[in-house]
Structure 1
Amino acid sequence: MLDTGLCRLRLDPTRFWELSLVEFAAMTGAFAPRPARLRRDGLEMLMRAFPD
């Protein structure tokens, strides 16, 4: 968390320690929508399209 907050997000140490866990999670993208996973039928379609 320290590396992410101080190095990657470049937060001031005082600001970093003032963050709640929810604020920190939001800043790191924890609540961002995730792409849909490949389902079995999608995998089978790809296997038929690219049989090698």
Structure 2
Amino acid sequence: MRAAGEGTETATTTAFPWRAAMHAGLGLLRLDPDRFWRLSPREFAAMTGAFAPAAPRLVRAGLEALMRRFPDEEIR
């Protein structure tokens, strides 16, 4: 008998990243193990920043503006 989901990965699915989730919850957030295992997936996602707005990406115009503001110094 297999645990739920064990051995059912296909080319379009991947296993849940338990190692990373446990590292985030128990290691980085320092949650008590009982609290960690009682979290809902939505609570865990919120605690790990899944719902935070994405940081704006640097576009070419922004890069060019930074290059004008902070030009490289010529090395002699």
Q: Name the TM-score, length of structure 2 as normaliser.
A: 0.55
2:36 counterpart of 1:38: no
Unmatched segments (≥5 aa) in structure 2: 1-20
Count matched residues.
Answer: 52
**1:17 and 2:37 are equivalent in the alignment:** yes
- Higher relative contact order at CA 8 Å, sep ≥6: structure 1 or structure 2? 1
Q: Structure 1 residue 25: deviation in Å?
A: 1.0
For residues 12 and 46 of structure 1, the distance between their equivalents in structure 2, rounded to whole angstroms, comes to 44
Question: Which stretches of structure 1, 4 residues or more, deviate above 3 A after TM superposition?
Answer: 48-51
Task: State the Cα RMSD in Å.
Answer: 1.6
Alignment identity in percent? Answer: 67
Show structure 1 runs of 5+ residues with no match. Answer: none
